[in-house]
Amino acid sequence: MAAGALHRSIRTIQLHGGSNDSASTKEFGNSSLKFISKGFAVDVKFLSNRSRSFSHCKMHVIRAISSHASVVDPIWSTSHVTTNFNQNTSIESSLILIRHGESMWNEKNLFTGSVDVPLTKRGIEEAIEAGERISSIPVNMIYTSALIRAQMTAMLAMTQHRQKKIPIIMHDESIQAKEWSQIFSEETIQQSIPVITAWQLNERMYGKLQGLNKEETVVKYGKEKVHEWRRSFDSPPPNGESLEMCSQRAVAYFKENIEPQLQNGRNIMVAAHGNSLRSIIMYLEKLTSLEVTNLELSTGVPLLYIYKHGEFLKRGSPVGPTEYGVYAYTRNLALYRQKLDEMVQ
């Protein structure tokens, strides 16, 4: 990654650092500090430590290396990833969206929403199959919701990836969690893919429908009402979130956290849910609130978008690693696949 890119990333840490990245008072007593933040292992020297607030403390970044190993991905070392920080319009990156595989409540046809239910055996198989489909598409970072069905899907899918890197969940919930999950081998870091979990990508909160059977709910409230709750943009289910409300957190998270990574040439997989992904797709494809009512996402089917010139180009779902079509979408994808082919020879 270019030095400029690192410094801009660090500036981002400073700007947003007040709450999430605040260092402990003990650490501020030193004139230098090492920490891992937003996936970067950072060495800093404090120029002024009068302020106790990390976000206001002046510092000089001595060294910042990606702790998100795949950001500097050897397979991409000659590609755009290292040279793309000057708003280079030729930057191109892949975005894979995947709804989790079948969950135990999908199987029972229950409204699930924010309830944290695991995958069924079929859901596990769907996730593995999804992994095969995307196994030759580059993935530098993974975002999942905070719910186990999305996390299982991401992890299972990555067991199939030809790059053989290891997805590692980033624990940012406390300073201790960050410290205790550090990795001390740069080589091991390079063989890892950071997995960022975010509640904002969770399924819409289904309110008083959670745990109810979908068919029984139709019998009780009528087909039309239930369809309106499930698919309309702005009618929330009782005490729950409408798609619009879900979109306010999911799309905001996407814009603030995921889109900048794509702009920097990082290839991203997002494993999330029917409605959080519907709202993100609505944004990517500029769908109207009417058009989004017809958008249905199957469990465990990955969708590919190419990000280029600030636009998201829909590329459907890759069929499989042996299918050539998808890799012909862009030269970079074809080259990536070719490098993977060469690696196994």
Ligand X SMILES: O=C(O)[C@H](O)COP(=O)(O)O
Residue 237 as a binder of ligand X (CB under 6 A): the answer is no
For residue 241, CA distances in Å to 118, 270, 282 come to 22, 21, 16
CB of 15 to ligand X, least distance (A): 35
Which residue in 203, 241, 259, 273 is the catalytic one?
203
* 122 is an annotated ligand-binding site residue: no
Any idea of the CA torsion for 78, 327, 255, 64, to the nearest 10 degrees? -20
State how far the alpha carbon of 290 is from the alpha carbons of 235, 279, 287, 295, in Å: 12, 12, 8, 10
CA-wise closest residue to 139 among 163, 123, 120, 117 = 163
Considering the complex, what minimum distance in angstroms separates the CB of residue 235 from ligand X? 13
CB of 138 to ligand X, least distance (A): 28
Provide the terminal-to-terminal Cα distance of the chain, rounded to the nearest Å: 28
Residue selected from 144, 163, 247, 275 as contacting ligand X according to rule CB under 6 A: 275
Nearer to ligand X, 66 or 112 (CB): 112
Is 203 labeled as catalytic in the residue annotation?
yes
Phi and psi torsions of 12, nearest 5°? -60, -40
In this structure, what token pair is assigned to residue 310? 């600030």
Q: Amino acid letter at 217?
A: T
Alpha carbon of 152 to those of 94, 226, 302, 324: distances in Å?
Answer: 21, 29, 14, 28
Residue 101 makes contact with ligand X by CB under 6 A? no
Site for ligand X in 172-201 (CB under 6 A): none
Rounded to 5 degrees, what are φ and ψ at 137? -105, 130
Q: Which stretch binds ligand X (CB under 6 A): 46-54, 73-81, 105-113, 177-185?
A: 105-113
Residue 85 lies near ligand X (rule: CB under 6 A): no
Instruction: For ligand X, give the closer residue by CB, 251 or 326.
Output: 251
- The minimum distance between CB 274 and ligand X, in angstroms, equals 4
The span from the CA of 69 to the CA of 51, in Å, is 32
3-class state of residue 250 by DSSP: helix
Burial 191-221 (b: 16+ CB within 10 A, else e): bbbbbbbbebbbbbbbbebbebebeebeeeb
Asked if residue 230 binds ligand X (CB under 6 A), the reply is yes
274 assigned ligand-binding residue? yes
* 249 is an annotated ligand-binding site residue: no
282 binds ligand X (CB under 6 A): no
Residue 306's closest CA among 334, 339, 287? Answer: 334
Q: Are 205 and 115 in contact (CB under 8 A)?
A: no
Among 21, 203, 241, 259, binds ligand X (CB under 6 A): 203
Scan residues 309-328 and list those touching ligand X (CB under 6 A): none
Residue 278 assigned ligand-binding role: no
Contact flag: residue 126 with ligand X (CB under 6 A) = no
Nearer to ligand X, 113 or 123 (CB): 113
92 is in an annotated binding site: no
Least separation in angstroms between CB 107 and ligand X: 11
Whole-number Å distance between alpha carbons of 59 and 33:
10
Closer of 299 and 332 to ligand X (Cβ): 299
Considering the rule CB under 6 A, would residue 332 count as an interface residue with ligand X? no
For residue 45, the one-letter residue type is K
Which residues here bind ligand X, judged by CB under 6 A?
Answer: 111-113, 203, 206, 230, 273-275
| Residues in binding site for substrate | 99-106, 112-113, 149, 203-206, 214, 230-231, 274-275
Active site residues per annotation: 100, 203
